[in-house]
């Protein structure tokens, strides 16, 4: 289980408080009842958004939070996703969202190794879903971690262009959302960094599609009637 670092530290801090632990437990109970991976991912995202809503709409947070489209600091850091979230991202790609596959492959080689990821040059660390204007191409379906990243004050605090990731901060505390995220990761069959998980899901889909094409080709060949003697030359 590769629980996102900040959600994990929130969980460690609050796991002994029953009202917070209940969030994680309830999340697991609900997710267990949902059969579709896309629905599970979207359920988690809705819960995270609802918890974040009251924090992000606070007048002081609104005034001091510089996060906006075009500011891409947190989109150059390591993002962890569940297998369901990777499926949802792959679903967006199937529906026409374009990504740079070479960049994805390059980033995925770092696996879950943070040092290896931050050793990649800054420009090559950009998330494959970041467009040229610095907006997220899958904003509606972005992972739960992306929904909780927020800072107060200077956006430069999130800039990892000149350091190894230690500078990435999240000053806005999203404790309830973090506890819900831990529940989602605890239940996930697999989780890990976005590039690694997405690459894996895309390859599995590709292999499945190839297998089904081969099956239908072989099916057609096997179904062909042998040429009758009358038609023999």
List of residues contacting ligand SF4 (CB under 6 A): 75, 79, 127, 129-130, 136, 138, 142-143, 146
* Shortest Å distance, C-beta 185 to ligand SF4: 16
Whether residue 67 contacts residue 150, with contact meaning beta carbons closer than 8 Å, is answered with: yes
Please state, in angstroms and rounded to a whole number, the distance separating the CA atoms of residues 64 and 60.
6
Compute the least distance from the CB of residue 142 to ligand SF4, in Å.
Answer: 4
Sign of the CA dihedral 136, 140, 143, 146? positive
Q: How far is the CB of 149 from ligand SF4 (least distance, A)?
A: 8
Tell me the closest approach of the beta carbon of residue 26 to ligand SF4, in angstroms: 26
Q: Please say whether the beta carbons of 21 and 15 come within 8 A.
A: yes
Between CA 57 and CA 55 the distance in angstroms is 6
Q: Which is nearer to ligand SF4, 14 or 149 (CB)?
A: 149
Exposure on the CB side of residue 135, measured as CA atoms within 13 A: 7
Output the smallest distance, CB 35 to ligand SF4, in A.
Answer: 25
* 3-state per-residue secondary structure call for 100-160: CHHHHHHHHCCCCCHHHHHCCCHHHHCCCCECCCCCECCHHHCCHHHHHCCCCCCHHHHCC
Identity of the residue, 20 or 80, whose beta carbon is nearer to ligand SF4 in the bound complex: 80
């Amino acid at each position: 289980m590769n629980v996102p670092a900040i959600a994990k530290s929130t969980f460690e801090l609050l796991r002994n408080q029953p009202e917070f632990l209940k969030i994680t437990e309830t999340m697991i109970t609900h997710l267990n009842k949902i059969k579709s991976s896309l629905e599970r991912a979207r359920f988690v995202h809705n819960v995270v958004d609802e918890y974040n809503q009251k924090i992000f709409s606070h007048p002081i947070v609104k005034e001091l939070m510089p996060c906006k489209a075009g500011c891409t600091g947190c989109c150059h850091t390591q993002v962890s996703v569940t297998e369901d979230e990777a499926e949802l991202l792959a679903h967006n790609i199937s529906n026409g969202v374009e990504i740079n596959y070479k960049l994805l492959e390059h980033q995925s080689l770092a696996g879950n190794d943070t040092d290896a990821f931050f050793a990649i040059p800054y420009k090559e660390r950009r998330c494959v879903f970041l467009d040229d204007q610095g907006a997220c191409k899958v904003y509606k379906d972005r992972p739960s971690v992306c929904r909780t990243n927020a800072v107060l004050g200077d956006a430069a605090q999130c800039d990892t262009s000149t350091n190894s990731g230690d500078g990435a901060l999240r000053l806005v505390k999203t404790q309830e959302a973090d506890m819900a995220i831990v529940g989602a990761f605890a239940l996930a069959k697999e989780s890990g960094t976005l590039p690694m998980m997405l690459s894996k899901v895309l390859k599995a889909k590709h292999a499945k599609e190839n297998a089904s094409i081969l099956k239908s080709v072989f099916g057609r060949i096997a179904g062909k009637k042998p040429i009758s003697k009358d038609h023999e030359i």
